[in-house]
Amino acid sequence: MSKIPKRLRAATTAAAAAALVVAPLTFVATGAQAAEAHVDNPYAGATQYVNPTWSAAVEGAATRVSDPALAAKMRAIKSMPTAVWMDRISAINGNADGNGLKFHLDNAVAQKKAGTPLVFNLVIYDLPGRDCFALASNGELPATDAGLARYKTEYIDPIAALLADPKYQDIRVAATIEPDSLPNLITNIAEPTCATAAPYYREGVKYALDKLHAIPNVYNYIDAAHSGWLGWDSNAGPAAKLFADVAKTTKAGFASIDGFVTNTANSTPLEEPFLTDPTKQVGSGQVRSSKYYEWNPDFDEIDWTAHLHRLLVAEGFPATTGMLIDTSRNGWGGAARPTAASTSTTLDTYVDQSRIDKRTHRGAWCNPLGAGIGERPKATPSGYAASHLDAFVWIKPPGESDGASSEIANDQGKRFDRMCDPTFNSPKLAGALTGATPNAPLAGQWFEEQFVTLVKNAYPVIEGNGTVDPTDTVAPTVPSGVTAGAVTNTSVALSWTASTDAVGVAGYDVYQGTTRVGTSATTSFTVTGLTANTAYSFTVRAKDAAGNVSSPSTAVSARTTNDTTVPPLDTTAPTAPSGLVAGTVTQNSAAISWTASTDAVGVTGYEIFNGTTSVGTSTTTSFTATGLTAATAYSFTVKAKDAAGNVSASSTALSVTTKPADTVPTGGCSVTYSANSWNSGFTASVKVKNTGTTPLANWKLTFSFANGQTVQQGWSATWSQSGTAVTATGASWNSTLAPGQSVDIGFNGNHSGTNNAPTGFAVNGAACTNG
């Protein structure tokens, strides 16, 4: 039985807007403009970006429905935060489907409240060969070397340059990295399109992680499918290993990934409330053995995130790795939602009557009928400790199509997938109808019919405005325990005990006398812009999504300070940096690191010198000097500085010599290749010899396979493969071969059928003879 259930779709959204041109930007962090420290959970204590384009689409839908109560429910969620999708290169500057990234980032800056972090949810989604197993969201870039080059230079690089603009450094950017990509390499690698795309998925994801992790306020979350796709042990274990393998190829290793996001654009439930024990015996077998679950023990996303987190930690990820769940359309409410477990003693009947997930099959991913909006976006949701949740998020904006229900011409590379056709009995779903909503437009476009269904079937139920929808007229409880904390000449920090409400508190308004001075999504707020030595009175009111507002809290009084003293000048410089060591050294770059300096008021940054020439600054204890000359000695020192401008003495100098330039073997080279094959595997031994008369520096061997073989694991060299082309680069200890000297290297590989020897052996671009 298939274990491939899927998935996803979306672009930026409905309304057209003028294109915005984004010029490449260079970001140099300095002490004066340093971003906040990278935190464990970016969502904790933060608000999230509300996409005005999506909000406008929701408002438009509300004006078109004839049911006032339904319109009120739509308006009640139009200010919910949703992700911004970069689904093609043109989306960066803006295209006919929506505004560009700069537009949204500028709006995020405008939405951010002083003293409260803001998370900007961004989806990175344009890999070469995108969506290799389905068709509805195929992309613009082919799975070729040229496609990968465009992905890097025309897609990731401009996005990274824009995010690195210092004016956005106070925005926490949570990037969902390439939905559907790596999970496809677990379950669908036998598909020729996925096998072709595999190396480009790995390299593309690695490149995105490296570029985005280098920006301090960006948080990377890798897409991890959903429980109905990877929940089986035979999928889950390999998935965690693949995630770890990709992480290890990045410059920062596991640190380049802040967490994982599941259920992206999928409708798999958060919890199955009446199916909590997969081993429960009903009639002929355990619940997990039913036709619907096919022995998959993870029935919902709470199960899957907990399962995946355990496996990730076992593979080397830190225990602090966070999880996100897309709850934008997995509520499964409405009249069809069960209210209790079935009483049937027939296994499949028991499961079908007990499950809230009403899809025909867990693999039905395209605009599923009956789905509803799920939990509202929420940071650190309680009660799910084993899942290590950073937040519930709406990555897929509700109302955006997964794919067209029939063929629609487009210039985006998207194709018609029969999984979006409601009349299709899909073999991928054991012959069941897809259960897709009819009349669906192209993936990513506004699909109002589906949006209406999602709102009607929402669970928890969406509460509309109390004047229109009488279902919620009860205001939250009054905030209590309001206290004044830190007080300065111009500010007062307030905190209070959370209010309660039947459908949840949406936020708080803070008043100075009768004037509202701010709002907060948390139970704290700092009032600023006050006058020194002045008494103030503050109250707080709670509000819910229906617009009900509580009575004011008991007032708390506070007087600002009148501190006119001037602190003594700081004339003490930080301690000199110590322990300089060299990291990766190439022909034109050298990475160095050092032990942090100390200072009474804190170190704000470091300046790096080559001799007496400054080569750059850093706010961390590492730096990579670039633009160097091959085979040249350099002497690096580092000085620390503090906020008062004091500069430390120089560190002890660190001498570094760059690698020599590549040389072509004068007089020739030879390569001897042999392979020992078995079933679909083989071990290859390769001898590279310098048959010339001069030393061969930084040798790099290239060759091509003739029968689709793949390198799996190599030794004594750094191995890589792109399509049929293979490259082996000498290690630090064997990168130079003297005249007549040889080196033995090798690898394990896979093949299918014929396993002919590769051809086109060359070293540093010069053809070699067969040894």
CATH number of the domain where residue 79 is located: 3.20.20.40
Q: How confident is the model at residue 522 (pLDDT cuts 50, 70, 90)?
A: confident
C-alpha distances (whole Å) from 247 to each of 207, 395, 638 are 11, 23, 30
Confidence of residue 1 (pLDDT cuts 50, 70, 90): very low
- Whichever domain contains 696, its CATH number is 2.60.40.290
- Nearest Cα to 696, choosing from 740, 657, 631, 656? 740
Pick from 685, 684, 660, 674: nearest CA to 764 = 660
Residue 21 lies in a domain: no
Pairing outcome for strands 118-124 and 84-86: parallel
What CATH number is given to the structural domain containing 529?
2.60.40.10
> Is residue 471 pLDDT above 60, yes or no?
no
CA nearest to 175, candidates 156, 201, 194, 148: 156
Is the pLDDT confidence value at 136 over 70?
A: no
Residue among 227, 193, 236 nearest 6 (CA): 227
Task: Read off the pLDDT band of 239 (50, 70, 90).
Answer: very high
Tell me, yes or no, whether 652 and 676 share the same domain. Answer: no
Residues 191-215: tens digit of each pLDDT: 889 999 999 999 999 999 999 999 9
* pLDDT band with cut points at 50, 70 and 90 for residue 30: very low
Burial of residue 762 (CB within 10 Å: 0-12, 13-18, 19+) is middle
- Region of 20 (left: φ > 0; alpha: ψ -120 to 50; beta: rest) is beta
pLDDT at 6 over 60: no
Give the range with max mean pLDDT: 133-137, 171-175, 431-435, 590-594: 171-175
Q: What 8-state DSSP symbol labels residue 362? A: T
The answer to whether 491 and 530 are in contact (CB under 8 A) is: yes
The mean per-residue pLDDT over the stretch 30-51 comes to 82
Is the pLDDT confidence value at 405 over 50? yes
DSSP type of residue 459: S
Q: Are residues 262 and 301 in the same domain?
A: yes
Do 243 and 303 fall within a single domain? yes
465 lies in some domain: no
Residues 328 and 207 in one domain: yes
Q: Which of 123, 363, 48, 348 is nearest to 227 (CA)?
A: 363
Give the whole-number percent of the chain exceeding pLDDT 70: 91
Domain assignment present for 569: no
Residue 548 pLDDT more than 80? no
Question: The tokens of 446 are what?
Answer: 């506004």
Better-predicted residue by pLDDT, 464 or 605: 605
More confident residue, 698 or 20: 698
Whether residue 248 is contained in a domain is answered as: yes
pLDDT for 517 equals 77
Which residue, of 593, 622, 657, is where some domain finishes?
657
Shortest CA distance to 187 belongs to which of 222, 148, 228? 228
| Measured CA angle at 164 (ends 162, 170), to 5 deg | 110
Residue 280: inside a domain, yes or no?
A: yes
- For residue 20, pLDDT beyond 50: no
Rounded CA separation 421/53 (Å): 28
Looking at the structure of the chain, the number of domains it has is 4
Distant-in-sequence, close-in-space partners of 591: CB < 8 Å, separation ≥ 6 = 582, 583, 584, 585, 622, 623, 624, 625
pLDDT at 116: 95
pLDDT tens across 552-565, in order?
999 998 888 887 65
516 vs 100, higher pLDDT: 100
Which of 21-25, 74-78, 370-374, 434-438 has the weakest average pLDDT? Answer: 21-25
Active site residues: 131, 180
Q: Flag whether 555 is in a domain.
A: yes
Predicted confidence (pLDDT) per residue in 268-291, tens digit: 999 998 998 899 999 989 999 999
Phi, psi for 215 (deg, rounded to 5): -95, 115
Residues 97 and 204 in one domain: yes
241: confidence class by pLDDT, cuts 50, 70, 90 = very high
Q: Say yes or no to pLDDT of 469 above 60.
A: no
In a domain, 25, yes or no: no
- Residue 90, number of CB atoms within 10 A of its CB: 17
Q: Which of 193-207, 554-568, 637-651, 726-740 has the highest mean pLDDT?
A: 193-207
Amino acid identity at 450: Q
- Please say which residue of 657, 682, 703 terminates a domain: 657
What pTM did the predictor assign? 0.60
What is the per-residue pLDDT for 91?
94
Which domain covers residue 760, as residue numbers? 669-770
Q: Are residues 46 and 116 in the same domain?
A: yes
Q: Are strands 622-626 and 118-124 parallel, antiparallel or unpaired?
A: unpaired
Give the three-state DSSP class for 347: helix
What's the full length of the chain, in residues?
A: 771
Say which residue the tokens 């295209």 belong to: 95
Q: Which two tokens stand for residue 376?
A: 């509202």
Residue 683 and residue 600 share a domain: no
pLDDT at residue 105 greater than cutoff 60:
yes
- Over residues 11-27, mean pLDDT: 34
Q: What is the rounded distance in angstroms from the CA atom of residue 418 to the CA atom of residue 219?
A: 35
Choose the weakest-confidence range: 42-46, 253-257, 512-516: 512-516
Percent of the chain, pLDDT > 90? 60
Q: What is the pLDDT of residues 575-585, one digit of tens each?
A: 999 999 998 88
Helix, strand, coil percentages for the chain (3-state, nearest 5):
20, 30, 50
- Is residue 36 domain-resident? yes
659 has pLDDT over 50: yes
Q: Are residues 329 and 434 in the same domain?
A: yes
Coil, strand, or helix at residue 248?
helix
User: Looking at the predicted structure, is the pLDDT value of residue 9 above 70?
Assistant: no
Any residues with CB less than 8 A from the CB of 241 and at least 6 apart, and which? 315
Predicted confidence (pLDDT) per residue in 355-389, tens digit: 999 999 998 888 999 999 999 999 998 888 899 99
**Crossing angle between the packed helical segments 448-456 and 68-77, to the nearest 10 degrees:** 90
Instruction: Write the pLDDT tens digit of every residue in 480-493.
Output: 999 988 888 888 99
Which of 630, 657, 684 is the last residue before a domain boundary?
657
pLDDT of residue 745: 95
Look at residue 258 in the predicted model and tell me its pLDDT: 98
pLDDT surpassing 70 at residue 140? yes
Residue 69 scores a pLDDT above 80: yes
Q: Are residues 295 and 324 both part of a single domain?
A: yes
Whether residues 143 and 210 fall in one domain: yes
675/613 same-domain check: no
User: Are residues 220 and 165 part of one domain?
Assistant: yes
d(CA 697, CA 729): 11
| Residue 169 pLDDT level (bands cut at 50, 70, 90) | very high
d(CA 399, CA 402): 9
For the ranges 23-37, 38-52, 299-313, 639-653, which has the lowest average pLDDT?
A: 23-37
